[in-house]
Amino acid sequence: MEPIRPESIPNPAVRRLSLYLRQLEAVQRKGRRTISSKQLGESLRLTDAQVRKDLAYFGQFGHPGIGYRVEDLILQLRKILGTDRTWNVLLVGAGNVGKALSSYRGFRAKGFQVVAVFDNDPSKVGRKLGAFTVRPLGEIQKAVEEFGARLAILAVPADNAQDVADQLIGAGIRGLLNFAPVSLSAPRDVAVSAVDVAVQLEQLAFQVTFL
Amino acid sequence: MEPIRPESIPNPAVRRLSLYLRQLEAVQRKGRRTISSKQLGESLRLTDAQVRKDLAYFGQFGHPGIGYRVEDLILQLRKILGTDRTWNVLLVGAGNVGKALSSYRGFRAKGFQVVAVFDNDPSKVGRKLGAFTVRPLGEIQKAVEEFGARLAILAVPADNAQDVADQLIGAGIRGLLNFAPVSLSAPRDVAVSAVDVAVQLEQLAFQVTFL
DNA sequence: GGATGTGAATGCATTCACAGCA
DNA sequence: TGCTGTGAATGCATTCACATCC
């Protein structure tokens, strides 16, 4: 098997990989052992050819006449995505979003673990948020080293988001999931992904109007 | 100005429209009156040509030699996206995510208002969630009519998500924002958008590993 | 000079369609 | 027969480059 050269793989294909994995985990829970590209694609509204081509970028996982073995493919995809081990994740922001995320039970099975929660608000520092004691932002650097964290979730107000992002990046964080409704600037070697619920509703509003 | 024919507009362009709008609202708060395609694009890491082409799909908003007038363009984009009026939104799921969303202050200014919260859990129905009294799912139909709601947010566990989605769609909801980590099936004339935090972390893990 | 809007050229991603294997 | 993997063909989206206007 050839090594992965991510620069030669379409970005959309990488994004779909996560959806395939999620789908496979669901069908595995239903006891299915094997699945064809057509079946894997249909609930995601993708063609069989799309599914096969996406997977083929990363290796030869299928069996002609059979399809893909669910368990094998799950293991392969986890390996490719890097979630065959657990990633320690820092969470900054102990507001409503931070609270929801800190108590989200689904992370562990997907290879992620929130290991510390931070906030700048003195009225929150030292308080408990679920199982975590909220720590001041000044301890981020220490926590990055302590936990070997490379990922962080940003759930602070829009005004602070860029500042906090800079701190996290300065402390060695390499991937950032941003819940603040602003576009963050970051060096090329730091990955940033974003969740903006208002933006998503806006897209739905447009589609509902015109489709 | 020609009418919008959404089928002739690249989907990515529509998605970027929301980002332009968010960016414009930010620079307006800073007091800027005018902005060039280059400036509008740079914090979003887009080329000036990309910005101009995207906007030109919807009309001629710019002024040669000047750029775009921030206030005008904001009004135009809101009109295009349909958020020059307020959309009433139903929220299903009174757990942690539902709680965070029901109290999110940012919706109003973007043209959205959560108007009712639902849950099936008898221990939650009748209880308060922020300003809302949690109502049983059976009242969804009534609420759709009462509020003229066409959008809903789904923040229920993965197992119920498809069932609840079917109820919402049956009651007349046309756009769905899904926080459950499953892929929903819906008729072609219902728009579905999704937030899956684990999937996004997975993508970051991949990028951090290979980029 | 400084900016837009836009055809034409390029570059990506998806789909087709089929050889080949179980 | 049933399904994968994959070049070739197609279809979209982005970028270029320039005529045009303030």
Q: Residue with CA nearest C4 C1'?
A: B64
B107 inside 8 A of chain A by CB: yes
- Here the contacts of A171-175 (C-beta below 8 Å, separation 24 or greater) are A171/A140, A171/A141, A171/A144, A172/A141, A172/A144, A172/A145, A173/A90, A173/A144, A173/A149, A174/A150, A174/B208, A175/A150, A175/A151, A175/B201, A175/B204, A175/B205, A175/B207, A175/B208
pLDDT at residue number B8: 87
Query: Mean pLDDT throughout B168-187?
Result: 98
CA of B22 to C1' of C6 (A): 26
pLDDT at residue number B7: 77
Query: Mean pLDDT throughout A82-101?
Result: 98
Strand C reaches within 7 A of the B66 CB: yes
Strand D reaches within 7 A of the B122 CB: no
Q: State the nearest Cα–Cα gap between B137 and chain A, in angstroms.
A: 21
CA of B187 to C1' of D16 (A): 40
Q: Residue with CA nearest C15 C1'?
A: A49
For residue range B47-65, what is the model confidence (pLDDT) as tens digits? 999 999 999 999 999 999 9
Q: State the nearest Cα–Cα gap between A2 and chain B, in angstroms.
A: 15
Strand C reaches within 7 A of the B67 CB: yes
pLDDT at residue number B187: 96
B56 inside 8 A of chain A by CB: no
pLDDT at B165 over 90: yes
Q: In what order do the strands lie in the sheet with A87-92?
A: A112-118, A87-92, A151-154, A175-178, A191-194
**pTM for this predicted structure:** 0.96
pLDDT at A144 over 80: yes
Q: Token digits for B57? A: 């799909």
For residue range A145-198, what is the model confidence (pLDDT) as tens digits? 999 999 999 999 999 999 999 999 999 999 999 999 999 999 999 999 999 999
- Strand D nucleotides, any atom under 7 Å from protein beta carbons: they are 1-7, 12-17, 20-22
pLDDT at A1 over 70: no
Q: State the nearest Cα–Cα gap between A143 and chain B, in angstroms.
A: 18
Interface A-B: count of C-beta contacts within 8 A: 182
Quick one: pLDDT band at residue B93, thresholds 50, 70, 90? very high
Chain B 64-93, residues with CB within 8 Å of chain A CB atoms: 80-83, 87, 89
CB spacing of B208 vs A174 below 8 angstroms: yes
Q: State the nearest Cα–Cα gap between A48 and chain B, in angstroms.
A: 17
How many residues does this entry show for chain A?
211
**With contacts defined as CB-CB under 8 Å, which chain B residues touch A159?**
none
Average pLDDT, chain B: 96
CB spacing of A203 vs B18 below 8 angstroms: yes
- Tokens 């004339």 sit at which residue? B189
pLDDT at residue number B1: 47
Q: Token digits for B35? A: 């902005």
For residue range A7-21, what is the model confidence (pLDDT) as tens digits? 789 999 999 999 999
A111 inside 8 A of chain B by CB: yes
* Number of neighbours of residue B163 by Cβ within 10 angstroms: 12
Quick one: pLDDT band at residue B6, thresholds 50, 70, 90? confident
Query: In chain A, whose CA is at the least distance from the CA of B102?
Result: A96
Distance CA A117, CA A49 (A): 43
pLDDT at residue number B40: 98
Q: What share of chain B is helix, strand, coil (3-state, %, to 5)?
A: 45, 15, 35
pLDDT at B81 over 80: yes
Identify the DSSP state of B127: S
Q: Which of A74, A66, A61, A58 is nearest to A23 (CA)?
A: A74
Distance CA A95, CA B106 (A): 14
**With contacts defined as CB-CB under 8 Å, which chain A residues touch B80?**
206
CA of B50 to C1' of C2 (A): 18
CB spacing of B211 vs A198 below 8 angstroms: no
Helix (H) or strand (E) holding B129: strand B128-129
How would DSSP label each residue in chain A? -PPP-GGGS-HHHHHHHHHHHHHHHHHHHTT--EE-HHHHHHTTT--HHHHHHHHHTT----BTTTBEEHHHHHHHHHHHHTTTSPEEEEEE--SHHHHHHHT-TTHHHHTEEEEEEE---TTTTTSEETTEEPB-GGGHHHHHHHHT--EEEE-S-HHHHHHHHHHHHHTT--EEEE-SSSPPP--TTSEEEE--HHHHHHHHHHHHHH-
For residues A93 and A6, the model is more confident at A93
